Amino acid sequence: MSSTSAFAALAPYGWDGAWSDEFAPYDSEGLLPGRVLRVDRGQCDVVTTGGVLRADTAFVTPHDPLRVVCTGDWVAVEPTGNPRYVRTYLPRRTAFVRSTSSKRSEGQILAANVDHAIIAVSLAVELDLGRIERFLALAWESGAQPVVVLTKADLVPDAATLGYLVRDVETTAPGVPVLAVSAVGGDGLDVLTAAVCGGTSVLLGQSGAGKSTLANALLGQDVMEVQATRDVDGKGRHTTTTRNLLLMPGGGVLIDTPGLRGVGLWDAGTGVGQVFSEIEELAAECRFHDCAHVAEPGCAVLAAIEAGELPVRRLESYRKLIRENQRIVAKTDARVRAELRRDWKRKGAEGRAAMEAKRGRWR
């Protein structure tokens, strides 16, 4: 099929000249370009120049779970055969990855080649700012532009209260658009649609966050099943069980994902730094380059807290995510493990020296 025909068939799904160049070697082998719409049980649905086909992913099943075929991948598929096989996927521009809930220290790729990460947060329950920060860290690390959507805004009838909630999240998400949206009433949907149209968006959030309702509103039809959330805690059941890539009527595509109970970081140091950019900027002004922002003299971070310019909660959340990310990285990187051990020994020695100094003053 000519490159012009490929553009016509696949352009709505994000195909462009750069993808065409990446695919050129496989085109000469007679393979078809396509984008993965969903993956389940070792097979996937792929939209190609000849329509949607079912393909086996057995050729692309390495031991590294981050290199398996996932929703959003651009792939090279065999044009004929029963079954047909995905031969490979093209180099990913972005990848949304979290750590698995298992104890094997593995990463799990949720979506590939994403431009916007829509983080759905329900206003039906109390805001969990720490969880929002986790999602943001993963989104920034993926290379996508995050957008926080406060769903079920119709449940907050007081405009002033809604404004306070939006500002609270804006403080938690520097540099990130924060939109209050009611999928039921349509409030804020036009702004969200304009923000994400033309690219690939992944919809993320906990069960009960209103993701399926929001997805249906963005898609312009009831594609996703919607289930009621429990009044007692605002939680819902998983209405989406696989990651699905679907066309939006205004342009662009949406990847809907199952509700995420766990949001573990996976080598997200850059993302954490982006979420807490104000702390990183302050840290650059500290007297000591390795300042831990605990009790060191000349600490610009602690000075900002004392001046009321930085909430204590933000610093505590920053420390928590930094520690968690270091543990994850240390499990897979021997050099980082060694550095952490040296750091722990140094801090232990400093603590013992401080105690000895205090004892000397007491005598």
pLDDT 10s digit of each residue in the chain, 363 long?
555 566 788 999 999 999 999 999 999 999 999 999 999 888 999 999 889 999 999 888 667 778 899 999 999 999 988 889 999 999 999 988 887 654 555 778 889 999 999 999 999 999 999 999 989 998 998 899 999 999 999 999 899 999 999 999 999 999 999 999 998 888 899 999 998 988 999 999 887 788 889 999 999 876 655 444 444 444 444 444 568 999 999 899 999 887 666 667 777 788 899 999 999 999 999 999 888 898 889 999 999 999 999 999 999 999 999 888 888 777 765 554 455 455 545 545 555 555 455 455 545
User: Which residue in 138, 139, 95, 136 sits closest to 113, CA to CA?
Assistant: 95
Q: How far apart are CA 98 and CA 66, in angstroms?
A: 10
Tokens representing residue 105 in the block: 């220290």
Q: What are the angstrom distances between the C-alpha of 77 and each of 29, 34, 81? A: 10, 7, 10
> Which residues lie below 8 Å from residue 242, measured CB to CB, with a gap of 6+?
38, 39, 40, 71, 258
The pTM of the full predicted model, rounded to 2 decimals, is 0.81
Q: How far apart are CA 343 and CA 341, in angstroms?
A: 5
Query: From the CB of residue 287, how many other CB atoms can be counted at a distance below 10 Å?
Result: 10
Question: What is the DSSP annotation of 193-240?
Answer: HHHHTTSEEEEE--TTSSHHHHHHHHHTS--S---PPPTTT-----S-
Strand order in the sheet with 145-151: 178-180, 145-151, 116-122, 200-204, 253-256, 244-247
Burial per residue of 43-79, b for 16 or more beta-carbon CB atoms within 10 angstroms, e otherwise? bbbbbbbeeebebbbeebeeeeeeebbbbbbbbbbbe
**DSSP H helices in the chain:** 3-10, 17-27, 129-142, 159-172, 189-196, 211-219, 269-275, 277-283, 300-306, 312-332, 334-362
Nearest-Å Rg of the Cα atoms of the chain is 23
Cα angle 336, 338, 342; round to 5 = 115
Q: How far apart are CA 200 and CA 245, in angstroms?
A: 9
Residue 50's pLDDT is 87
- How do beta strands 107-112 and 95-99 pair? antiparallel
Q: What are the angstrom distances between the C-alpha of 312 and each of 198, 276, 290? A: 39, 13, 20
The distance from CA 7 to its chain's CA centroid, rounded to whole angstroms, is 29
Tokens representing residue 352 in the block: 């013992």
Q: How far apart are CA 272 and CA 302, in angstroms?
A: 19
DSSP 264: B
Beta bridge partners of 99: 107, 264
